[in-house]
């Protein structure tokens, strides 16, 4: 477990004067430098031999990564902090020690030569998204279960209709199934457990020992499930038989928080919706905060139309942006947001704290936090 904060640091001391004796941290990011300035100042204090050069990338997602970064900067860089921008090829960054991505996943750069043809260590900002995304998940479930949309429509029409709000099932005793028990899933579990729900977890590989259930990644203090004690049961596997055993547990809220890989593409499709319908007469509500491709979207629309599931909250779709003529917009009992569940005013600062931790680890010769396994894809 890696938490924010901590005790005093042993600074890296300068070994000489002039640019040649100083390392360069190049940050190419879409946030104004003022947002993470507090943590950047701490990095400079702990690493006085480190120059930090900040280049603001485009804020618009469609243009991210297109920023013109001077070649002399990335050729000299020892560390790179980025969301989307990358140097063209590995050979132009001969001194790069690691790249810190400010995203939870890396599928957006999986075809880049630096990913496919280099051994430059790549790390993610996994761990910083839990608080805000968990709030989004719980908010969407409550909006749906408490029939808030209908009640708000009545408010706009100045109608006082109490029956519209009847029939609410509160969270106590519900089963929340977290498909992908990483930092986000663990914070969803923490909040759900506090509301009286039962939590079950699904992971790619088995977690049979207390040590294997621990979260060894970056954790925002006071959040998550560091020791993995919240789930009442654990399930695992990337095969459909294992997934189906998990889905048969009468899941009321199914949270999708797995990375998009070859194995997880269309992981939830017609067969899975049928199992959810059969196992839970109350209906399952699905919240997808991972990637749109995890769900077979036409099958999802059919499941909503035929009431195989109670509803769905989607912060991600396939494709993105969702075209205006896509039938998903008009599917019943669906709530759609434009991939913003991870947004927070604390996002950039928290991501720089992950970078700060990895700079310490690189200095101390210990394994990096949130290191991407290129073979697994995350």
Task: Say if residue 112 is in the same domain as residue 255.
Answer: no
Task: Say if residue 296 is in the same domain as residue 157.
Answer: yes
Local structure of residue 268 (DSSP, 8 states): B
Task: Say if residue 156 is in the same domain as residue 49.
Answer: no
Report yes or no on 376 lying in a domain: no
In the predicted model, is pLDDT for residue 152 greater than 90?
yes
Structural contact between residues 246 and 177, judged by C-beta atoms closer than 8 angstroms = yes
Among 37-41, 105-109, 180-184, 192-196, where is mean pLDDT lowest? 105-109
pLDDT of residue 12: 42
pLDDT of residue 61: 77
Task: Say if residue 185 is in the same domain as residue 213.
Answer: yes
Report yes or no on 90 lying in a domain: yes
| Token couple for 76 | 């000299």
| Token couple for 279 | 């196992």
- Mean local confidence (pLDDT), 14-23: 58
Structural contact between residues 239 and 87, judged by C-beta atoms closer than 8 angstroms = no
Q: Which of 237, 234, 243 is nearest to 269 (CA)?
A: 243
DSSP character string of 46-87: H-TTEEEEEEEPPSSGGGTT-----HHHHHH-SEEEESS---
99-119: pLDDT as tens digits? 999 998 888 899 999 999 999
Domain count for the chain: 2
pLDDT band (50, 70, 90) for residue 14? very low
Q: pTM for this structure?
A: 0.87
Task: Say if residue 210 is in the same domain as residue 285.
Answer: yes
Structural contact between residues 49 and 58, judged by C-beta atoms closer than 8 angstroms = no
In the predicted model, is pLDDT for residue 18 greater than 60?
no
pLDDT of residue 186: 98
pLDDT band (50, 70, 90) for residue 16? very low
In the predicted model, is pLDDT for residue 11 greater than 60?
no
pLDDT band (50, 70, 90) for residue 125? very high
How far is 341 from 142, CA to CA, in rounded Å? 15
3-state SS of the chain: helix, strand, coil percent to 5? Answer: 35, 15, 50
Which parts of 258-296 fold into alpha helices (H)? 270-279
Q: What is the CATH number of the domain that holds 38?
A: 3.40.50.720
In the predicted model, is pLDDT for residue 237 greater than 90?
yes
Q: Which of 204, 210, 203 is nearest to 189 (CA)?
A: 203
Task: Say if residue 175 is in the same domain as residue 108.
Answer: no
In the predicted model, is pLDDT for residue 87 greater than 70?
yes
Task: Say if residue 255 is in the same domain as residue 210.
Answer: yes
- Mean local confidence (pLDDT), 240-256: 98
Between 21 and 227, name the one with better pLDDT.
Answer: 227
- Mean local confidence (pLDDT), 22-27: 97
How far is 223 from 359, CA to CA, in rounded Å? 23
Beta bridge partners of 200: 177, 233
pLDDT band (50, 70, 90) for residue 5? very low
311-355: pLDDT as tens digits? 999 999 999 999 999 999 999 999 999 999 999 999 999 999 999
pLDDT band (50, 70, 90) for residue 209? very high
Report yes or no on 142 lying in a domain: yes
Average pLDDT score over the chain: 93
Task: Say if residue 58 is in the same domain as residue 97.
Answer: yes
Task: Say if residue 29 is in the same domain as residue 147.
Answer: no
Range of the domain at 356: 2-128+346-364
In the predicted model, is pLDDT for residue 298 greater than 80?
yes
Report yes or no on 371 lying in a domain: no
DSSP strand E in 115-267: where?
122-123, 175-179, 198-203, 218-219, 233-236, 253-256
pLDDT band (50, 70, 90) for residue 376? confident
Report yes or no on 341 lying in a domain: no
Report yes or no on 261 lying in a domain: yes
Q: In what order do the strands lie in the sheet with 285-288?
A: 233-236, 198-203, 175-179, 253-256, 285-288, 311-314, 334-336
- Mean local confidence (pLDDT), 34-52: 96
pLDDT of residue 378: 80
pLDDT of residue 20: 56
Task: Say if residue 77 is in the same domain as residue 166.
Answer: no
Task: Say if residue 256 is in the same domain as residue 280.
Answer: yes
Report yes or no on 375 lying in a domain: no
Q: In what order do the strands lie in the sheet with 50-56?
A: 50-56, 23-29, 79-82, 98-101, 122-123
Report yes or no on 378 lying in a domain: no
What are φ and ψ of residue 28, in 5° steps? Answer: -120, 100
Task: Say if residue 97 is in the same domain as residue 165.
Answer: no
């Amino acid at each position: 477990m890696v938490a924010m904060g901590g005790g005093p640091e042993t600074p890296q001391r300068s070994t000489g004067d002039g640019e040649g004796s100083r390392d360069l941290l190049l940050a190419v990011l879409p946030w104004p430098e003022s947002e993470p300035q507090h943590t950047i100042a701490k990095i400079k204090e702990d690493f006085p031999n480190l120059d930090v050069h900040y280049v603001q990338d485009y804020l618009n997602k469609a243009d991210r990564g297109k920023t013109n970064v001077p070649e002399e900067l990335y050729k000299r860089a020892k560390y790179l902090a980025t969301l989307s921008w990358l140097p063209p090829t590995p050979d132009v960054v001969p001194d790069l020690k690691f790249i810190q991505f400010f995203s939870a996943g890396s599928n957006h750069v999986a075809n880049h030569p630096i990913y496919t043809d280099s051994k430059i260590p790549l790390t993610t900002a996994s761990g910083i998204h839990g608080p805000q995304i968990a709030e989004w998940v719980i908010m969407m479930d409550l909006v749906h279960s408490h029939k808030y949309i209908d009640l708000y429509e009545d408010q706009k029409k100045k109608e006082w209709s109490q029956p519209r709000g009847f029939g609410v099932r509160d969270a106590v005793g519900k089963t929340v199934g977290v498909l992908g028990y990483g930092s986000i899933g663990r914070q969803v579990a923490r909040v759900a457990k506090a509301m009286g729900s039962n939590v079950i977890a699904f992971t790619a590989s088995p977690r049979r020992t207390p040590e294997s259930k621990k979260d060894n990644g970056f954790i925002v203090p006071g959040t998550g499930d560091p020791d993995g004690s919240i789930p009442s049961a654990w399930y695992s596997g990337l095969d459909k038989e294992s997934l189906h055993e998990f889905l048969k547990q009468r899941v009321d809220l199914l949270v999708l928080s797995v990375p998009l890989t070859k194995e997880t593409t269309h992981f939830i499709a017609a067969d899975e919706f049928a199992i959810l319908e059969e196992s839970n007469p109350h209906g399952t509500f699905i919240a997808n905060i991972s990637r749109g491709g995890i769900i077979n979207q036409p099958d999802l629309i059919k499941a909503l139309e035929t009431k195989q599931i109670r509803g769905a909250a989607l912060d991600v779709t396939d494709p993105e942006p969702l075209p205006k003529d896509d039938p998903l917009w008009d599917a019943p009992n669906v709530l759609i947001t434009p991939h913003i569940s991870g947004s927070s005013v604390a996002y950039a600062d928290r991501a720089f704290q992950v970078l700060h931790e990895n700079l310490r680890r690189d200095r101390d010769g210990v394994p990096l936090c949130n290191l991407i396994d290129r073979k697994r894809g995350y």
